[in-house]
Amino acid sequence: MTGFLSDLVQYQGLFQMIAVLGIGGTFQNGFQVSTITYMSQHVKAFINETWLERYGYPIHQDNLLFLWSITVSIFGIGGLVGSSGSRYLTVKYGKKKCLLCNNLLMITAASVMGCSKMARSFEMILIGRFLCGVSAGLCVPLHHQYVGEVSPKKLRGFANSTASFFWSLGKATGQIAGQRELLGSQSLWPVLMASCGIPALVQLLTLPFFPESPPYLLIHKGDQEGCKKAIRQLWGEGHHQAEIDDIMKEKATMKNTKILSVLELMKEPAFRWQLYMIIILSATVQLSGISAIYFYTFEVLQAAGFDDRMISYMTLSVGLSELLAAMVCSSIIERLGRKTLVRGGYCIMGSLLAAITVTLSLQDWYFWMPYCSLCLIILFVVVFGIGPAGATISIRAEIFQMSCRPPAFVIGAVLNWLGIFVIGTTFPFIVERLKQFCFLIFMGVLFTSGTIVHLFLPETKGKSIVEITEEFNKLNFKKKCVPATPNHVMEDYTYCTRL
């Protein structure tokens, strides 16, 4: 506790910046994901009323469901567009300028959605949701990169895992705000829809007081004094020469390098296994069953005989459990390491899915079985929050050099948004065919990914990017000639080494 308090005092600038980045980053993303559920019946009623006013007859039920599904899924399409452009914008303008401009986009989107009822236009909701998706797709990878780059090595895992905490905090805040007693009522749902602009406004007003990341200033801008000034502002007046030396080493390895494009990264053999890990980790998050768990929570509580009004509060308990788990992850990630949390989390989650499948199959046999299912669901969410949720984000930020980080995050973000879209459109059909046995598919994915992580992912805790790259070179090159400089480095010499 004493060590934590001393770090809190010394690194207060860093913690303040993490809070600003989180509020305008994954917090607002999680907020939007959770609040849309509470606006379902209100938005459908608004679409029907608007249609009746325009054409004199109510909208057909199939058309209403189609418009609602588009309203939900267009957020993911916008996210795909935003994440695809994040690499170009980051390289050209830097993370800080991109985030500031992105906040203006989010505020605009929130204003458009908030005025939709007043303007009697459901099309404004579609436009606003798309713009929100573009904003989220751009800011989430920027948030992950920015947090990782402004943090010292000993706090890097903690800082990266805070993205998961702010995501869970945003979801829990959205669940609370979406209750009927607050903003989830028939008259106030436009206010709930527009409230996603508040986190963006907070970041827009506070981020200008914080610096660009020290590695960006030193490596890309060549501003050594600016780098030292940023370090002093974020990390205090202590001795940080070792961290500066690590940045200088990374700069030396990147001499005469260029920022890779997505296609160049995919072709570069020096980063083949890092790319494999990004793909596996990103795909596993989407195929872990966490979306299915949230889907089944309502049905399990209904089967237990709870009132629909009570179910909304009990569903909130699941979101709060994830928030608590994210806080635990931030406190233990530097002790246990990223690989341990991911590998152990996958195995425990797979075992819990097997148990959930059994309890859901037997819930009509015993009156107490739905309560067991609910306990297992909450435990599953807790394990996900403590393990893979935060550790995966940290690994993504740590295994790539700065020249590869922007395109790597584009690939991870595109896979994430694509997974959200695919799971959102196909999962209802999977549930209809397989019922509770759909969890066995996710269980197989978790155990397979856990095995791959155990065999091939090096531990990144406490290591510099140069040391992590050397670990991956053992997989990328085995006993072949290891280039002294990767293909994107504009020099001609190589040397051979037996790894």
Whole-number mean pLDDT of the chain?
A: 80
Identify the burial level of 92 via C-beta atoms within 10 angstroms of its C-beta, where 0-12 means exposed, 13-18 middle and 19 or more buried.
exposed
In order of 246, 331, 332, 410, 493, the CA distances from 488 in angstroms are 21, 38, 37, 18, 13
Rounded distance between C-alpha atoms, residue 52 and residue 62, angstroms = 15
DSSP designation for 333: H
- In order of their start, the domains of the chain are 1-210 (1.20.1250.20), 265-499 (1.20.1250.20)
Cα dist from 433 to 290, 302, 355, 430, 438, whole Å: 19, 20, 20, 5, 8
pTM: 0.76
Rg of the chain over Cα atoms, rounded to whole angstroms, equals 23
Using 50, 70 and 90 to split pLDDT, how confident is the model at 103?
very high
Task: Give the tens place of pLDDT for each residue, 227-274.
Answer: 888 888 888 877 767 777 777 776 676 665 666 777 888 888 888 888
**pLDDT digits over 153-205, tens only?**
777 778 877 888 888 888 888 888 888 778 878 888 889 889 989 999 999 99
Tell me how far apart the alpha carbons of residues 401 and 247 are, in angstroms, rounded to a whole number.
11
Of 198, 191, 35, 21, nearest to 107 by C-alpha is 198
| Residue closest to 193 by CA, chosen among 312, 76, 109, 81 | 109
Encoded tokens for 138: 């751009």
